[in-house]
A = this chain, B = another copy of it.
Amino acid sequence: MAVASPMRDLAAIVGADNVLPGSTEPYGRDFTYEILRLHGVADAVVRPGDAGEVAEVLAWCYDRELPVIPRGGGTGYAGGAVPVDGGVVVALDRLTRVRSFEPHWWRAEVEAGLTTATVSRLARENGLLFPPNPGAPEQSQIGGNVATNAGGPRAFKYGVAGRWVTGIEAAVAPGELVRIGGATRKDVAGYDLRNLLVGSEGTLGIITAIWLRFVPAPEASASVAAFYPDPVSGCAAIGQALGSGLVPAAVEYADAGVLDASGGALEAELPAGARFLVLLELDGSTDEVRRSREEAVEALSDGAISILRPADAAEERALWRWRAGMGPAVTAVTGGRVSEDVAVPADRLVDVVVGVTEIGARHGLPACSLGHAGDGNVHGCFLLVPGDPDQLERAYRCSDELCELALTLGGTVSGEHGIGWIKRGRMTRQWGAVGAGMHAAVKAALDPKNLLNPGKKT
């Protein structure tokens, strides 16, 4: 298509300053670029200033049959925001108003472009907690968090992003604004189109604003790190902890390969023989946290080599900094990796942890995993030297086998990152013919011209 004329038309909607050439970076990439070099060139990038402009841009594109690629902070791991086949990127980064905030009633209405960190800070500074913490909070946007139904460690106790959403405003085909829900906490008047938009990765509409709910911030939190000689004893300890009635905020794990890659960054010394880490975060009242930490130590002790209890808040923070650095440390081993975020019933975690290393070994690639053990959510990493096409090909085969393993265990091909572009075809594999048929029927019903982020989430 000729770009000049659309850019003039779009400028009439959002202003000339807010229409950028389709090749403008970083709008052609997301977090997958680093490893996969996934990159696209749009026909144009537009930055609407409010929800009404988003709807107008969508109407304009829908009328001309131009694909629309909604974009949040660009921190996705599935290529969902990448304009792989042209079209108009609609960036939400100018929609940053807090439309209302009622801390006494634990709620806010915010626009989609607000960063996750800003939302978290708003809550925290008012004695509240916004539980989702999917990572990259200074860059990721709340609209993207909701559009991908982002998770993170605290999802074990607090659920994923969608759980904190009571209402959504979105631009939908053929270019109108709709509001589903609002500040009311309970609503069974219609189908749950709110949760249908949550996690739809921009393929059913462009989320422009969100009614969020919060909870009062817990008074205290504390962590316990337990080290084991192998995944079997570590996973058994997780079962022991959950079976004891503890309800941790987070139940994380890391396997031997991750400990090898990141052990040097732990402030304390990694215990000799440690090949599996279980990391719990407990929160609640001060008394409750003190007691549940003792219970956690007790429950985790069977089979443990050693148990680490941070002595103060500074040690707590250091422990979680170590946890946050594990992903980059793994990447740094060879310079690149292909990762899969499968999830399985939590009691099958051990099968996936062992499976990841076996699959890697079979294809001659170092492999390791870490993730959200309480939710059975594994980030399986297959390490490679960037730019080596043979290793990349083998890593993809590993990914495929890991997804197959997760499905065999009754799990999902994606617990957190979504399908986006790079996992296309996997939703259909997971859902089977009947489910995938329903999925396709819903997409066709709400986006009859297939212009909302086409080719993604399939």
* CB contact between A216 and one of B216, B246, B413, B414 (< 8 Å): that residue: B246
Q: How far is the CA of A444 from the CA of B375 in the complex (A)?
A: 35
In the complex, chain B residues whose CB is within 8 Å of the CB of A419: 188-190
Could you say which of A64-72, A148-156, A390-398 contacts chain B?
A148-156
> Which residue on B lies nearest to A157, using beta carbons?
B215
Nearest residue, chain B, Cβ from A105: B347
Q: Is the CB of A369 closer than 8 A to any CB of chain B?
A: no
19 chain-A/chain-B pairs, Cβ below 8 angstroms = A127-B245, A160-B186, A177-B434, A184-B343, A184-B375, A184-B410, A185-B374, A187-B412, A188-B414, A188-B418, A189-B431, A190-B439, A191-B443, A192-B195, A215-B247, A216-B245, A284-B284, A438-B446, A445-B445
A266 at the interface (CB under 8 A from B): no
Question: Closest CB-CB distance, A407 to chain B, in whole Å?
Answer: 10
Pick from B189, B217, B243, B430: contact of A190, CB below 8 A: B430
Q: Mark A425-447, 1 if CB is under 8 A from B, else 0.
A: 01100111011101101111110
Query: Could you mark each residue 292-310 of chain A with 1 if its beta carbon is under 8 Å from any beta carbon of chain B, else 0?
Result: 0000000000000000000
Chain B residues with Cβ under 8 A from A444's Cβ? 445
Smallest CB-CB A-B distances: 4 pairs: A445-B445, A104-B243, A216-B245, A195-B195
A211 to chain B, nearest CB (A): 9
Partner of A438, one of B189, B193, B288, B372: B193
Residue of B nearest to A173 (CB): B438
User: Which parts of A154-187 form the interface with B (CB within 8 Å)?
Assistant: 155-156, 159-160, 162-163, 172, 176-180, 182-187
Please tell me if A415 contacts chain B, counting CB pairs below 8 Å: yes
**A261 on the interface (CB 8 Å rule)?**
no
Say whether B414 contacts A187, CB under 8 Å: yes
A37 at the interface (CB under 8 A from B): no
Q: Determine if B189 and A430 form an interchain contact, defined as CB atoms under 8 angstroms apart.
A: yes
Alpha-carbon distance between A374 and B186 when the two chains are bound, in angstroms: 10
> Quick check: is A196 within 8 A (CB to CB) of the other chain?
yes
B189 touches A427 (CB 8 A): yes
Quick check: is A116 within 8 A (CB to CB) of the other chain?
no
**Which partner residue on chain B sits nearest A177 by CB separation?**
B434
Any chain B CB within 8 A of the CB of A199?
Answer: yes
Inter-subunit contact A441/B430 (CB<8 Å): no
Q: A287 near B: Cβ within 8 Å?
A: yes
Cα distance, A418 to B192, chains bound together (Å): 12
Q: Return chain B residues, CB-CB under 8 Å to A376.
A: 184-186
Which residue among A107, A284, A287, A435 has the maximum number of chain B CB atoms within 10 Å of its CB? A435
Chain B positions within 8 Å of A443 at CB level:
191
Bound CA span A102–B344, Å: 15
Interface centre among A192, A344, A346, A411 (most CB of B within 10 A): A192
A193 near B343: Cβ-Cβ < 8 Å:
no
Set of chain B residues within 8 Å of A446, measured between Cβ atoms: 438, 441-442
Interface contacts beyond A105-B242, A190-B427, A190-B430: sample of 11 additional A-B pairs, CB < 8 Å, sorted by A:
A105-B239, A105-B345, A149-B188, A186-B415, A188-B415, A189-B414, A191-B200, A192-B200, A196-B196, A287-B288, A288-B288
With A188-B417, A190-B457, A216-B246 given, is the CB distance from A183 to B345 under 8 Å?
A: yes
Bound: A192/B163 CA distance, A: 12
The answer, yes or no, to whether A399 is at the interface (CB within 8 Å) is no
Instruction: Judge if A106 is at the interface, Cβ distance under 8 Å.
Output: yes
Query: What is the CB-to-nearest-CB distance from A234 to chain B, in angstroms, rounded to a whole number?
Result: 16
Contacts of A151 in B (CB 8 A): 186, 188
Q: Which residues of chain B are within 8 angstroms of A411 by Cβ–Cβ distance?
A: 182, 184
Q: Which residues of B contact A426 (CB under 8 A)?
A: 189
Chain B residues in 8 Å Cβ range of A183: 345, 410
Give every chain B residue within 8 A of A377 (Cβ-Cβ): 185-186
Check if A285 is an interface residue, CB within 8 A of chain B.
yes
Taking a contact as CB atoms under 8 Å apart, the answer to whether B189 and A412 are in contact is yes
Q: Is A198 an interface residue (CB 8 A)?
A: yes
Known: A184-B412, A184-B415, A343-B184. A435 touches B179 (CB 8 A): yes
CA distance A243 to B372 in the complex (A): 32
A291 within 8 A of B: yes
